[in-house]
Structure 1
């Protein structure tokens, strides 16, 4: 019995260690490839494109951070602390833009607001102006890319901030009002400082998604580190430059991850006491109610309703046939990759999460920390970090087989589906681990003790006790990873097997050829699939509201 228990523990530890090592491999490979690539490439980059990449990335990050902060905090405050017409609908609808990848939003708005689009064409027809007779904001710009990212990323700040507002007690707020503060003054001096950790966490999540974005900035022609990596790898065939750019982006991403961890670790939340009283929402009327409706409805309209209408109009005018064999192959490839990646990622999350519970200590903590780093690493960095070592392995194996047996093995790992699936696991393991650990916290330690006293091995306790209880959390994790893989673009573009295209790749390719109406068809499918986890989030928000109201 002891051997069986030890064997199960070693198997679990081995799988958890393998998952953590896979997450660490691309970071180490990028660092090694960048440092061994010579100084000539990085010197050339410093004198040419690197300052521009750094400046543009910094501007984009700043604009997105400010945008998601303003929209997320203001809407969270209004739907939580006030009551106005349509508030119940808007508090859920504000989450819907999460279903959109930013690059899909870019395709929709370019179709409408670009120079040949309906808005500028109508303006020229009505006024009789020529192309140089008027000024119109350029959608294909750094500011335009920032707007697209803000519209799809502000829900991160909204969800976290709203949850923090719901947990606040009315005591401090009422004390500020009793001391002569106006409602707005009490908000600035009492409520806002108390939810600062939640706001910072949401903004940092949005910033990390911004530096990882490739589809939006590439389509708009904005030169960031993400586009530079892709250009160096494919257009210039310079792997050293790609690795060194990836190292720069990786350093920035890890710095943000460290800041997020520090602010989360430094946050101090005080539990609700028996004397805690929920804040009573203020009823808004007249122009104040109209202003609240406008502030909350505008992000929903711009981030979800209007793009959906535009994409439907574009799709109706396209020549793309969803029933064709070609599109069925795109859908099949997307589903196969997303399903395999979701299954592998959730299995790795179970191994890492349960190992941390089974054998708490430095090794388990280190494995969990490394497994979470992937969410801060852009897909392009992960792709470069996995392709460099496995390409070297394939080439070395092929050379050895040629020399020994006069037989060429070709590329066994590089360019395979499973290497791409491994990249997805590295990228999204943190999301699956978060969902798993959220459910695992409901399993009391006494259940483990009872299972062990009845003779169950660790794996037996996991299979017979934990997994049945955690089924809802595991299904949520599967769905989140599935949808994230469907939307993932940079890693798929770099690592996909030859002639193995997905819906995201097809949408990007059509948009790059300025066939925006055709790109609307795969984009709509991606958005439709993305609505599934958003519906789950909306249901969770609804339960939270009901719980707060009791």
Structure 2
């Protein structure tokens, strides 16, 4: 698409895109000798990179890749297996399993890690009971806080990404083609391996890419388990070693990995559109899932229930145990304060994100040229950027400006107020609001705009009087999704939150890090309760889309 001549009206959009992409640009600029030019006297970026390459970089890279491969394999198996079970087969309770398999989405991965650690560690109730009952001594179970424990947590926390996409792909085409293969005499095993799974391969690849992006962006699990990945290395370089250039370079490497995964996800999405095109609804409706009875029905139940129990039921039960044992040790007096801080930050960010999303979506609808679409795409890249990278990208330019103009006092503005953390949230979650608003706009025909202009309504009046009444549900969903994401966000919140403004996510992490896992149960369960909101919304959407 060709770019039109530059219009002064596009300047606010360009400034908005710059505001949302500044962290990424700052991280990339860290490879330039800016500190030396400002007279900081730090080592050149190239020498810092050589030093890291000979010390910590191989460990970070190896652990990150090994963790990603194991999580990708496990999530692909669990997500594809559960999607095939509820899509290709019919058994008692299948409808309930379809939405139960979404429940782990409500569990932040770091909350699942705290729950398993509290129950399975050396001093946890399970090992204590085993030692007391059978007269055993020493450690009876493998160490939870390890690479294997992190892989377990990530698999059962993130497999729904693969499950959702694979379920959609299998439901659109696989059942119909499997019915045709059955009529041609193919066995059940052959129909699954040669028809269903090849059709779901692009969807599984897209889901695995999303799982890997979430794994690479995680800080709570890897930090709590003591696993040396790029994310923990970034925080160690910045906070412990006070070397922001090293942190920025590690952020760049992590960003490169995320970009590669994002390209894989986009490519898989294009293949999904290709493989699911040309299939009518009638054909899919004629093909019925195969009915399972007896031991096959029990096997389907086991395949579906195991991830739900491991990813949601068991962690919630582990966290409810200290609440039921002794309510008096829980920090009830501080809980309302932490919840209020989380709600306040979430509400502010949700309102601003929805306003920005409305402005960007309306600009694309009103002037769909290459410049406007490019600005919107730039504003959407933040969701794929890990929170640790956003933190470094925000604090780097603040430090440079502080060196150049010390009288401005920018560090205090960013770290001592809510400006910095809300900015980071907007960079990270504006894409969530924008996607929901654009989805709402896709259901508004352009003929309404033309009719309104013929009646004398144009400009922002068109947005206020015509679009807004039709976008209320989409904007409400957008604000709610952003609010929930902000409530659960940990890496950026830990560094950029204002003084004396701990949130539920930060408090849960700090209590768990201090081995006060019983007290961490209360804020953790509150985060789970909030996380159930989008899961319920998603379940209703999938159910209405099937009707």
Say whether the fold is shared (TM-score over 0.5): yes
Distance in 2, Cα, partners of 1:504 & 1:424: 14
Q: CA deviation at 1:41?
A: 2.0
Q: CA deviation at 1:415?
A: 3.7
Change (3 A) 1:113 1:274: closer
Which segment is superposed worse, 98-107 or 297-306? 297-306
State how 1:116-155 maps to structure 2 within 5 Å. Answer: 116-131=123-138, 136-155=141-160
Match of 2:395 among 387, 392, 395: 387
Matched residue SS, 1:167: helix
State whether residues 394 and 412 of structure 1, in contact with CA within 8 Å, keep that contact through their aligned partners in structure 2: no
State whether residues 87 and 171 of structure 2, in contact with CA within 8 Å, keep that contact through their aligned partners in structure 1: yes
State how 1:515-526 maps to structure 2 within 5 Å. Answer: 515-526=516-527
1:232 paired with 2:237, answer yes
Note the alpha carbon deviations across 1:408-467, whole angstroms, 9 max, x for none. Answer: 787333443122111111111222222122221111111121122222223222222222
State whether residues 399 and 411 of structure 2, in contact with CA within 8 Å, keep that contact through their aligned partners in structure 1: no
Runs of 4+ with deviation above 4 angstroms: 318-323
The number of residues matched between the two structures is 527
Match of 1:4 in 2: none
Match of 1:176 in 2: 181
State whether residues 322 and 328 of structure 1, in contact with CA within 8 Å, keep that contact through their aligned partners in structure 2: no
Distance in 1, Cα, partners of 2:151 & 2:8: 47
Match of 1:531 in 2: 532
State whether residues 330 and 518 of structure 2, in contact with CA within 8 Å, keep that contact through their aligned partners in structure 1: no
Match of 1:484 in 2: 485
State how 1:372-411 maps to structure 2 within 5 Å. Answer: 372-399=380-407, 411=412
Distance in 2, Cα, partners of 1:380 & 1:240: 14
Q: CA deviation at 1:315?
A: 2.9
Match of 2:117 in 1: 110
Match of 1:70 in 2: 77
Change (3 A) 1:277 1:105: closer
Q: CA deviation at 1:526?
A: 0.8
Note the alpha carbon deviations across 1:117-140, whole angstroms, 9 max, x for none. Answer: 1122222223322216x5x22211
Match of 2:289 among 263, 277, 281: 281
Match of 1:93 in 2: 100
Which segment is superposed worse, 432-441 or 411-420? 411-420
Matched residue SS, 1:514: coil
State whether residues 173 and 190 of structure 1, in contact with CA within 8 Å, keep that contact through their aligned partners in structure 2: yes
Q: CA deviation at 1:171?
A: 4.5
Q: CA deviation at 1:266?
A: 4.3
Distance in 1, Cα, partners of 2:175 & 2:410: 69
Matched residue SS, 2:173: coil
Match of 1:339 in 2: 347
Change (3 A) 1:496 1:286: same
Distance in 2, Cα, partners of 1:209 & 1:320: 33
State whether residues 34 and 247 of structure 1, in contact with CA within 8 Å, keep that contact through their aligned partners in structure 2: no
Unaligned residue ranges in structure 2 (runs of 5+):
1-6, 34-43
Change (3 A) 1:248 1:475: same
Match of 2:413 in 1: 412
Unaligned residue ranges in structure 1 (runs of 5+):
1-8, 402-407
Which segment is superposed worse, 165-174 or 225-234? 165-174
1:84 paired with 2:91, answer yes
Match of 1:404 in 2: none
Match of 2:509 in 1: 508
State whether residues 390 and 414 of structure 1, in contact with CA within 8 Å, keep that contact through their aligned partners in structure 2: no
What's the Cα RMSD here? Answer: 2.0
Match of 1:458 in 2: 459
Q: CA deviation at 1:274?
A: 7.0
Change (3 A) 1:209 1:86: same
Distance in 2, Cα, partners of 1:274 & 1:72: 25
Match of 1:355 in 2: 363
1:202 paired with 2:207, answer yes
Q: CA deviation at 1:534?
A: 0.9
Distance in 1, Cα, partners of 2:245 & 2:366: 42
Distance in 1, Cα, partners of 2:344 & 2:48: 38
1:438 paired with 2:445, answer no
1:59 paired with 2:60, answer no
1:44 paired with 2:41, answer no
State whether residues 88 and 175 of structure 2, in contact with CA within 8 Å, keep that contact through their aligned partners in structure 1: no
Change (3 A) 1:314 1:461: same
1:312 paired with 2:326, answer no
Matched residue SS, 1:195: helix
Distance in 2, Cα, partners of 1:139 & 1:274: 47
Distance in 2, Cα, partners of 1:35 & 1:61: 30
Change (3 A) 1:241 1:203: same
Q: CA deviation at 1:378?
A: 0.3
Which segment is superposed worse, 385-394 or 509-518? 385-394
Distance in 2, Cα, partners of 1:169 & 1:440: 31
1:371 paired with 2:379, answer yes
Match of 1:242 among 241, 247, 258: 247
Change (3 A) 1:178 1:351: same
Matched residue SS, 1:456: coil
Change (3 A) 1:490 1:242: same
Matched residue SS, 2:457: coil
Matched residue SS, 2:283: coil
TM-score normalised by L of structure 1: 0.91
Distance in 2, Cα, partners of 1:254 & 1:409: 30
Change (3 A) 1:142 1:55: same
Distance in 1, Cα, partners of 2:80 & 2:463: 40
Distance in 1, Cα, partners of 2:131 & 2:422: 49
Matched residue SS, 1:381: helix
